[in-house]
Amino acid sequence: MDLTALIDSYKITGRDVDVVPSVEFAEAIWGLGLTLFPAQRFLMRLLFGEPLLNKGKTIHVRDLVGDKVLYKLTEEEYLSFLYNEGRCSIGQQ
pLDDT at 69: 95
Kindly report the pTM of this predicted structure.
0.74
- CA-wise closest residue to 82 among 59, 58, 66, 56: 59
pLDDT digit string, tens, across residues 45-59? 999 989 998 999 999
Residue 44, pLDDT score: 94
Q: How far apart are CA 5 and CA 9, in angstroms?
A: 6
What's the pLDDT at 20? 85
In the prediction, which pLDDT does 86 show? 92
What pLDDT does 89 receive?
87
